[in-house]
Structure 1
Amino acid sequence: MKKELKDKFGRVHNYLRISLTDACNLNCIYCNPVSNTAKTNNNKFLSFEEIYRLINIFASHLGTRKIRFTGGEPLARKNVLQLFERIKPLKQKFDLEYCLTTNGTLLQNRLEELTNAGIDRFNISLDTLKNNSFKDITGKDKLPDVIESIYEAEEEGSSYVKINCVVIKGINDNEIPDFVEFFEDRNVTIRFIEYMPFTQNGWDKSLFISCEQMKKKIENEFKLTPVSKINASVSDEYIIAGYKCKVGFISSISNHFCSSCNRLRITADGKLRLCLFTGKESELNLKYLLEDNLYADEFIAEKIADFLQLKNEVHPPPEILAKMDYNYMLKAGG
């Protein structure tokens, strides 16, 4: 029987993020630096049938209505289109929304097949508009590919194209107004995201710039008008006078949104995580529960509901997060 998935603080969780792989073809300094050692063997990933079953459990028994596929780079998962085609009937049966977060380098010429397979929204990562900076941040020379993917996604007709830009002081914070100018006539939302501390990602307070500071950089040149915030939205969004694009700000560190959190995460190897900022001790091994069909869907749903009661009211401060040993962004799925 379907029910609301509610924690002990009364927060309803109807949004599930599923990582399809922790492999990525970029080495972004804030997520997958070259020094990163947190990788999973491919044979330990959730199979497509296991992902299908989990979506069915969450949608039919726990009230999930939105699912985002992440990574790593989700399009790097072998035969990923087959997965989306396999789970499309669940989208239709339960009126689900399917979203994809991608770095954009593998998205070109795939928009039509992905939307036909059921993907409704695309979030594309782009942290700089400069070729040299892009290579410094990601380790690769792929900026034109990402820009083209954004254009294709917007032109495909999806009204839900979002650009995710992680802002790091001294690296790309001087480009914030440039993003507005660059995408002025595009129907996209540019979301500026605070640099968050994860294991081995080099976070330091001196590199941090708050969303309030980012916003002021834009307000110095443009007139912003706030957009009504949707419940549980992580982004404060604004329209810009005379421009088609919108901007948003995600203040995970300076002004967290834990009180309205509605998200759960499943890692590529099948661990349920209650929070983006969590340790190894706060995981439920769903892959184990799925193996050999030993447990009924109803039993697994009850285990998930019980496990949710362990979720904390708020995440720790950044100084604590920066010292955690197992808090890899790549494994958590962003």
Structure 2
Amino acid sequence: MASVTDRSFKQKILEEELSCGICQETFRRPKALPCLHTFCEECLTEVANLGELSCPLCRREVPLPTDGVAGLPDNYHLSELCKKFSELPADQEQDVAQHCEYHPSQELRLFCKSSNCGVPICTQCFEDSHGEHKVVPVKQAVEKRMTRVTPLLKEKKRQIEERREYLKDIRHLENQITDAKSQSDKSILDSYAERAKLLADNKDRLLSEVEESYQDIMKDVNAKKDAVLQQLDDLTDVVEEVEQTKEKHAIKFLRHEPDELRDKLEQTRVDPNMAPLEVTVSFFRPHKIKKEQLVNGELVSEAFTTKTRWQTVVTLLSNVKLRAFTVMETAYNDLKSIKQ
């Protein structure tokens, strides 16, 4: 049978594993997030802000269902463990009294030290068959024998505490790694969003300039086209008038019209020389796309250990952000040079 001390250690460890990271109490209606972290439904409801929620541990954004935190999936496994944990009997300060198998109404309060015995006995056993044996109280006998066990017991307790602390360090490291990953994701998205914005702005500017140039050129071309069409109409009209008069009114033409028609033909003047129409058109000539020009930064390797603390992580993330902004500044300068 496990001792009260053994049960207390196990119960303490189990209690920590079944505690919510927000309220530090045993889970109540545990809800699982996409990042696999779990918290009480009530705690998540309190930290949710206007329908938006991020994991309190790793800061990962959590899309909420239409019914809010209540719609998140339940962690049935943890819920069942919490239920079983709540049903465990409370630790007792003292061992349950043991009774003599020969005298059930008597408690085993003595220990017979005789080499032929070495067993716990009750007062009735002492009077009946152990009167000449050397006996001591059970508590004294336990303390005597514990001298052989105590050093190992202390060592095992130390090992338990040592591993509990190491487990805390691992969890702390897990949170740091997860946070570093979230920060890196955000830096990447922000960096590329900024570059995409710069590219979009530059695209709109180029399209606007091409459109403006097109409108100006087409205005001149249309003016020239209209002038040529007008000349063509004038020439066509006078030519048709002369030919119709000649064909349909030959006598009239012979008597009166030649001079008038000749005057009309002479008065219908057009440009003597149709010079080639020359315009300057703006068009886009794309640069050759190079893979290295599409990369806003680089992935670097950093060693994390259970001894790494947040200051190291903050410094690392600051360096990552600095590199990202440097790359964005370079991209912006490249775009400015293209614009010029």
Please give the TM-score of this superposition, normalised by the length of structure 1: 0.17
Larger Rg: 2
Please give the TM-score of this superposition, normalised by the length of structure 2: 0.17
Q: Which has the higher helix share?
A: 2
Q: Which has the higher strand share?
A: 1
Highest RCO, 1 vs 2 (Cα 8 Å, sep ≥ 6): 1
